């Protein structure tokens, strides 16, 4: 699957997503896009999953009819998130078009 990392997702996570193509929003020039624009651009460019740490996106955007899946990290600090890599990978692998999965990662 083609996965887009929002600007708040730790880049080292990408090396754990074997079998997926991971691209960062900044590499596309999309790191300054607001949520709706980012979702639209990603979907139009064929991304299947957007990973973000923006918990509010679910409430700010209408996901009805969307093809892109959303994975939301509960904490984007890499030293903490790396302890939950298995949960994140499982969430990514469980995605279906239009799905929303929040990965609980406590603040430590």
What's the whole-model pTM score?
0.93
| Confidence band for 63, pLDDT divided at 50, 70 and 90 | confident
| Confidence band for 65, pLDDT divided at 50, 70 and 90 | confident
Nearest Cα neighbor of 73 from 53, 93, 88 is 53
Ordered by start, the domain boundaries in the chain are 2-103
Is residue 61 within 8 A of residue 100, CB to CB? The reply is no
> What's the pLDDT tens digit per position in 22-54?
999 999 999 889 878 999 999 999 999 999 999
Which positions ≥6 away from 27 have C-beta within 8 Å?
Answer: none
Is residue 39 within 8 A of residue 64, CB to CB? The reply is no
Percent of the chain with pLDDT over 70: 99
pLDDT score at 64: 77
């Amino acid at each position: 699957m083609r996965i887009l990392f929002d600007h708040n997702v730790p880049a080292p996570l990408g090396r754990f997503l074997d079998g997926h193509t991971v691209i960062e929003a900044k590499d596309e020039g999309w790191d300054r896009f607001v949520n709706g624009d980012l979702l639209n651009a990603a979907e139009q460019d064929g991304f299947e999953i957007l990973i973000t740490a923006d918990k509010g996106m679910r409430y700010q955007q209408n996901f009805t009819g969307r093809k892109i899946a959303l994975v939301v990290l509960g904490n984007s600090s890499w030293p903490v998130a790396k302890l939950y890599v298995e949960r994140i990978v499982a969430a990514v692998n469980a995605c279906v078009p239009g799905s929303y999965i929040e990965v609980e990662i406590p603040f430590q």
